Amino acid sequence: MSGRELTLLSEGRVEVLGRILRSSNETFLVQLSHGEDTAQAVYKPQAGERPLSDFEPGLHRRERAAYLLSEALGWGMVPPTVIREDAPLGVGSLQWFIQCDFQEHYFTLFEDVPETHRELARIALFDYIANNTDRKSGHVLRGDDGRIWGIDHGLCFSAAFKLRTVIWDFAGEPIREALLADIAPLAESVPAALAELLDDDEVTALQRRVQRMLLASALPVDRTGMRYPWPLV
């Protein structure tokens, strides 16, 4: 994607169009406008979060952190995401809305579209590094242009290992050398913009997860059979 998306997200006027139903927290579809340019985004205000026992308020920061991690890796798999202090319902994240067929999700893509498997396996690696606690099937989208995206990353980056995902079909498979090369720099240093959104222990834990993947050179295996989110889709 180009700088247009980040300009609209960061500087555009934000108009709430309606609430997105079946979300754990209050989530809204919004219209962005900047001059004559318009687009849609997903807005997650901190004020709409349900209290959690294992994550501090401010999940929008983790949404932004996941985008920055994807960009640092050069994978471009998380839609452009910014934090806006001046959004209509208060501080929160704005994420570019992906035009897609919402009847498609991880399970249908894995079964019906085998050419997506390389991208799906890369999301599995991303989720381990980000310690994603909530990778439901519906959090994997195929855009109208065929591109694969991962969304909904508010429950990521905990210092305690909390991985829960539906993507276990690639468990134990070797990680491609190119992907190992992409993640290797994070073992030594986490970009400052990403690190400042996390606690120090979360940054350290992220680096340790990268180090484990570099040593294992294979995608993780769930030996408990319990590392699944609910609901699955």
Is the model's pLDDT at 1 over the cut of 80?
A: no
Please say whether the dihedral angle defined by the alpha carbons of residues 5, 153, 167 and 138, taken in this order, is positive or negative.
negative
Q: Compute the distance between CA of residue 137 and CA of residue 194 in angstroms, rounded to an integer.
A: 26
Mean pLDDT value across the chain: 97
Residue with tokens 């952190």: 65
pLDDT score of 176: 98
Tokens standing for residue 138: 């519906």
**Res 92: pLDDT:** 98
Mean pLDDT in residue range 21-41: 94
Query: Is 2 a residue whose pLDDT tops 70?
Result: no
Distance of CA 15 to the CA centre of its chain: 24
22 confidence band (pLDDT: 50, 70, 90): confident
C-alpha 140 chain-centroid distance: 9
Quote the CA–CA distance of 186 and 31 in Å, as a whole number.
35
